[in-house]
Structure 1
Amino acid sequence: MAPYISFLFLLSLLISAFQLAHAVDPLVDLGYAKYQGKEGKEGVQRWLGMRYAEAPIKGLRFAAPKDPKKEKKVQHAYDFGKSCLSTGVEPKKHTSEDCLFVNVWAPAKAKKDAKLPVYFYVQGGGFNTNSAPRLDGTGLVKASDEKIVVVTINYRVGLYGFLASKEIRDKASLNNGLKDQIKALEWVKKHIKEFGGDPDHVTIGGSSAGAASVYYLLSAYGGKGLDTFHAAAAGSPSFGTQLNVKESQYMYDTLVKNAKCKGKDSLKCLRKIDAKKLQKIDKKLPLPGAKGKPAFMYSPTIDGDLITDYTYRLFGGGKFKKVPTIFGADTNDGTAFVPKNTNTQKDSDNYLKRQWPALEQKHFDRIHNLYPKTNDKFPKAGKYGAYWRQGSNAYGQMRYMCPAITISTAAALHGKMNEAWNFHYDVEDPVAMDKGIGVGHCADVPAIWGPTYAGGPKSYKDKGVNAPIVPVMQGYWTSFIRSFNPNKHRAKGSPEWKPLKEKKDDRELSRLHIKTGETGMKPIDRRQNEACSYFVKVGVELKM
């Protein structure tokens, strides 16, 4: 009997050794470098601040991203790398021009060959800042029952990512912020298996400019050429004014003048200037045809290659990658941007004109009809103008809500109808409601990532009034990441999230209305449809 017991004992040791050999090692060898990660909170392993591209400095400023250089020593991947420099902001402790880093979260118990679905998230910031460089993926991994891998990245913004001119077109590279994202997706395809991820099951996502990045990736090269992702889930996609290279030249010329590079090889001269000095001389300018400065100056440029046309025209013509999609927006996406002292209709119009200089009186007449002045009162908002919420409603719908509906509609019409889902996030935080912010820009982010890991109001935490919405949102999101369908693994008791359009002859579009205790499918109302139909009609006129 003893030899039999010894054999079983030996067999169990061999099985254990085999399993350990196939577990994801905190030390990963990526060929160009070895990165030592560590187990973080709640059994989730993390690798932070890994390079996915060479430092874009000196001669690589304004250049397309290059493969990272080889490192001889083991690199500690314990902390986030520095985030990219923001427009017109002096470099700080946690920012640098050397900023192209990727972060990965995976279940600590995952096997190297687990082939877990991957969520690749692009942070927002209006293409002028990295707004969430330290977002923690732990909550999403846990919410998925430890069945996914989460990836976040930094990418170049402002002049480093989106300065455009004939000089940059001819001697450097345009739209480098987007090319950074493409490079990071190529990194995922090549290396994510080392972390237990499946390179053939990748969902891209983002919020605000991150969601805009998602639609730019979907429509890249006219919808052809990117094989690095397989689904998309994003919130509040931003449609701003899109300029071509010629229209963007004034930004470059002004920078050259401020840098005293005029009369020289201007690109070579700009590459030699210290980043700290470059940040100081970089000034926000009005867009062509506007009298005031926009919320965001630098943004992706129509270059005839990566971006071939206006977004409304690309999606209207079906020139985008056909994959399962989720898009949506928040009720009051505009309140964070429109100045609170907007007191007259002219103030409101002027703000919109600064963002979309192509707006004419005929457009304003229609916008006034679609978005009349409100009589809402906000006693805890402090001083605010009579047209703040009117302007906010118009801006939020033009920039975020209608784009989300447009993309989902295009996905349903040109792709698979039952693989296009849309949402309206309407979860009211009491404090934000009192202040007049309402369900503000990217209010859905803490619910998706978890308020412990993405911040958010008290009402989302512990036993707060909105705490129940967190598992609902995380259930839909992680289900989509895992199966390309938000319903398969949704939280128990959550209603079925039906596609935007179920049949070809359906005249009514439906989306998931997300509200604590009241989440369910609702048709998009007539007024909303009327507004979005109008912006589809004039979108190209407004250079969107």
Structure 2
Amino acid sequence: MKGRGPLRLLPIIAVAVSESAATATVRGEGVEYLGIENATSGINTFFGIKYAEAPVGPYRWRPPVPVDYSQSSETTYINATIPGDGCLQSVPPWSSGFTLLPGLVQGYSEDCLLLNVQVPTNPKSSKLAVLVNIHGGGYIAGTARDAPGDSLVYHANGSLIYVAVQYRLGSWGFLAGDEIKEDGTANAGLLDQRAALEWVQRNIHYFGGDPEKVTITGGSAGGGSVAMHMVMNGGDWNPPFRAALPGRQADYAWMTPMFDDQWQNIQYSYFLKGADCCDVACLRGRTTNELLNAEAFAYFAGYGSRQFGYGDFYWGPVIDGHIIRGHPFSEFRKGHFTKVPTLVTRNGYEGIMFTNQSIVTAEDSTNMLKTLWQDGDGTYVDIVRKLYSSDEYNSTLRYGLNIVADSGGPASSAYNFPDEFMRTQAVFGDALINCATTLLANAVATDGVASFKLVFNAGYQLHGATGPFVFNKDINPDGSLDIGFGYPIGGNTTLAGYMRDWYVSFVLNLEPNGYTYGLSPAPHWPRYGSGGHEVMYVEKNAISAINDPEKSCQCKFLEMGRGNGYQIWPQW
């Protein structure tokens, strides 16, 4: 079943650098970084800092090798005034951008283990709190430039440093299979992220940051990555961070189903065939373009054999028994995770972007979900669909979308979805994002650690909706966004200020209350599990504390189901 292609995603933000911009310098041990000073925003930016050696040739699918200048007899000078290459990107077959013969694109390469650092020009102390962002993009796309930290650094008024990291993507970062596990690592992309965090621990003090005050965040796959770092090694007692915001704006952690060794070996076999190789040694000798073609072949073969389907990106973290010892859902339930203050959020309609727009019938819906969960006979899917009754989950849900309620024009017609589509997107959104936020928030709160949850049903409302309000090149964004169709999404300056107040406060104080940039403090955000399970609920024209909507029988079942930590799902 072929869809019409996904809805338009949020745009990647390009960073332009003026030749006349003033420069800033930071000296470390054996190294000196030359960055850019922006007198208007009061922010110094250092682009493309290498934290690990290029993972090429024999270093492919192995742990990253940290860069170390401290042993050099001479100072190494780093030009950090322009963004470095992004990691190699890919596109799944269900997207309109898929091609069987991809090629290298300028600005992307294997030598991409880089990070950006943004520092206030007038810091309030010599030991500032640090926010490290792991970009999203389904584990197959994205760069450190996608979520600029200008708005947050400016909003923090000299109190915060922002770091954005890149990591190997797609097959380069997440190729699995028995042979890879024996001669490399199946989670190279996660180890890249951890290496970047270790770089921050060793080096951020040169930029004025405090390595003991690091918070990690990420959106979509970046949010899923934050959850992975919380369960990494069964839960580290001394991790390179003190707090977690699972979601790129502390939102929407992407928790795709994870399958067994057999599934991973089939994926690996497709990749080998596409590269015309018999083993990993051969793969390490192939050219970059040959491996890009092998990845595209594996995509096509996996999609054709229904190893994955619409809305799934195929590549991502796997349970390897070492780095990731069990499915994160299971690890959080068992208490096998790093106990740090945690703030999670989700957007109002998380499933719409990843649900096939050609779904009309119950059979269409069942087939998509059977592929998502690798549910051969459909027994699991049948139970899930009964939990999402068509009496409640149907096309009337679309009227909760501001773009439909407000426009009545061309934008509204683009969201004229049938009953089965809206029912399926509700399942998809809950299964991969919404229910995970409650599982994380509840696990952390149950252990007695500060936990907070936000449901953001304002702005764009779809996956990524909080981005324009929080992470922006504009130092004072209002959250507005042009999504096409001739209907821009309007912003709200007050709400945008509140959102940044909450996030800055969490990074500085380990809770979203207490910091105020403007004259009016943001509404009080209740701690999750303190006398109840209240979440902050943000609508277009209102903010309130409500009972967690994901404390539901649907989420209870999905948290225990196929691909979420159980080979055999329990009877319901």
Task: Give the TM-score taking structure 1 as reference length.
Answer: 0.85
CA deviation after TM superposition for structure 1 residue 542, in Å: 6.7
1:326 lines up with 2:343 in the alignment: yes
Q: Which amino acid aligns with 1:452?
A: D
* 543 and 523 in structure 1: CA distance in 2 versus 1, 3 angstrom threshold: same
Contact in 1 for aligned 2:130/2:215 (Cα 8 Å):
yes
The equivalent of 1:397 in structure 2 is 430
For structure 2, list consecutive stretches of 5 or more residues without a partner in the other structure.
Answer: 1-22, 92-101, 399-403, 405-411
The structure-2 alpha-carbon separation of the partners of 1:29 and 1:288, relative to structure 1 and needing over 3 Å to count, comes to: farther
Seen in structure 2, the aligned counterparts of structure 1 residues 493 and 175 have a Cα distance that, compared at 3 Å, is same
- Residues 191-206 of structure 1: matches in 2 within 5 Å? 191-206=203-218
Change (3 A) 1:76 1:467: same
The equivalent of 1:468 in structure 2 is: 494
Q: Is 1:247 matched up with 2:263?
A: yes
Corresponding residue number in structure 1 for 2:401: none
- Whether 2:224 is the aligned partner of 1:212: answer yes
State the Cα deviation string for residues 41-77 of structure 1 (Å, max 9, x = none): 5110111100000111112111110022648652210
Matched, 1:236 2:252: yes
The answer to whether the Cα contact below 8 Å between 1:80 and 1:134 also exists between their aligned partners in 2 is no
- The structure-2 alpha-carbon separation of the partners of 1:535 and 1:382, relative to structure 1 and needing over 3 Å to count, comes to closer
Please say which of residues 204-213 and 271-280 is displaced more in the overlay.
271-280
Q: What residue is the counterpart of 1:145 in the other structure? A: 157
Quickly say closer, same or farther: Cα 1:332–1:528, change in 2 above 3 A.
farther
Give the Cα–Cα distance (whole angstroms) in 2 for the partners of residues 455 and 496 of structure 1: 21
* CA-to-aligned-CA distance 1:232-264 (integer Å, 9 cap, x gap): 1131112212134453112222222222222xx
In the other structure, the counterpart of 2:98 is: none
1:87-486 aligned at under 5 Å gives the runs 87=90, 89-110=102-123, 114-130=126-142, 133-224=145-236, 226-234=238-246, 235-262=251-278, 266-282=279-295, 283=297, 284=299, 285-286=301-302, 290=306, 293-294=309-310, 295-358=312-375, 361-371=378-388, 372=390, 373-376=393-396, 379-381=412-414, 384-416=417-449, 419-429=450-460, 439-450=461-472, 452=474, 457-458=480-481, 464-486=490-512
Which has the higher Rg, Structure 1 or Structure 2? 1
Deviations 1:74-109 (A, max 9, x none): 221011111111236532112111100010001012
SS at match of 1:29: strand
Unaligned runs of 5+ in 1: 1-24, 430-438
2:60 and 2:524 map into 1 onto residues whose CA distance is 48
Return the offset for 1:451: 7.0
Q: C-alpha offsets along residues 102-156 of structure 1, whole Å, 9 cap, x if unaligned?
A: 1000101227x61000001111111112266343211100111221000001000
Mapped partners of 1:288, 1:509: distance in 2:
43
After superposition, what is the alpha-carbon deviation per residue over 1:145-198, rounded to whole angstroms, capped at 9, x for unaligned?
221000001000111101012222222222010000110010000000111111
| SS of equivalent residue, structure 1 residue 38 | strand
Are the structure 2 counterparts of residues 463 and 154 from structure 1 closer, same or farther at C-alpha, using a change threshold of 3 Å? closer
Cα distance in 2, alignment partners of residues 82 and 455 from structure 1: 30
Which of 547, 557, 563 is the aligned partner of 1:534?
557
List aligned pairs for 1:59-78, cutoff 5 A: 59-68=58-67, 70=69, 73-78=76-81
8 Å Cα contact 1:168/1:267 also seen in 2 = yes
Q: 2:31 aligns with which of 30, 33, 43?
A: 33
Identity of aligned residues (%): 26
CA shift at 1:384, angstroms? 4.5
Residue matched to 1:18: none
Say if 2:512 and 2:525, in contact at 8 Å, map to a contact too.
yes
Q: Distance in 1 between matches of 2:493 and 2:479?
A: 11
In structure 1, distance between residues paired with 2:238 and 2:320:
17
Task: Work out whether 1:86 is the aligned partner of 2:119.
Answer: no
Are 1:517 and 2:525 matched, yes or no? no
CA distance in 2, matches of 1:131, 1:334: 23
Q: What amino acid sits opposite 1:257 in the alignment?
A: K
The aligned counterpart of 1:500 is 528
State the distance in 1 between where 2:568 and 2:442 align.
Answer: 20
Give 3-state SS (helix, strand or coil) of 2:163's partner: strand
Deviates most, 342-351 or 174-183:
342-351
Judge conservation of contact 1:247–1:288 (CA < 8 Å) in 2: no
Counterpart position of 1:45? 44
1:470–1:248 CA distance, 2 compared to 1 (3 A): same
CA 1:277–1:390: 2 relative to 1, 3 Å: same
Could you tell me how far 1:537 is from its partner in structure 2?
3.2
State the aligned residue count.
Answer: 499
Query: How far did residue 292 of structure 1 move?
Result: 5.3
Native 8 Å contact 1:287 1:357 kept in 2: no
Residue 287 of structure 1: CA displacement?
7.7
Instruction: Answer whether contact 1:85 1:95 (CA < 8 A) is retained.
Output: yes
**Deviations along 1:441-489, whole A, 9 cap, x unmatched?**
02112212247379964489x9945332110100000000011110011
Looking at structure 2, the residues matched to 287 and 413 of structure 1 have their Cα atoms a distance apart, in angstroms, of 40
Residue aligned with 2:395, SS: coil
Output the aligned Cα RMSD. 2.7
Q: Which of 221-230 and 443-452 deviates more? A: 443-452
